[in-house]
Amino acid sequence: MKRHIKFALVYAVLAMACGVFYREFTKAYEFTGTTALGKAHTHLFMLGMTVFLLFALFDAKLHLRKSRLYVPFMIVYNAGVGLAAALMIVRGVLEVTAAELSAGADGAVSGIAGLGHILTAAGIVLFFCMLLFALRNEKNASEKAPENNSETAGS
């Protein structure tokens, strides 16, 4: 649980730093429009901090760390959120500075950001699979528990 709270803290700090960067960078360029920089800030708070705080709570009850899907979840999800946020920052800087990109470079930025979102979605699927497997295991354990208690009570 402590590990996941630390992950949440790291994401919260990154989100706040991203928010400060967004505010100061757009102010320095006198940019008043909408940019992907603001979305990166929100993504880091919601997909980073909030998800890992929730994970810590579920893990305390259901012991999700013991799942065979735990390590793949951690790798895929963190890679996805990190990649998506990084490319949102890149996209936002390009928008604020009005940088001209070739069609290929623009497509590459969008494609890599899309890959980050796909990895994040795959991580979310792994998270739900871990939850469902843990609930099933808990249900199976509770169904077996009364049988064991009645056998030991009669001995």
| pLDDT of 155 over the 80 cut | no
Contacts of 64 (CB under 8 A, 6+ apart): 55, 58, 70, 130, 131, 134
Q: What is the DSSP letter of 33?
A: S
| Whether the predicted model's global pTM rises above the 0.85 cut | yes
Q: Which of 33-42, 106-115, 137-146 has the lowest mean pLDDT?
A: 137-146
- Looking at the chain, the whole-number percentage of residues with pLDDT higher than 90 is 86
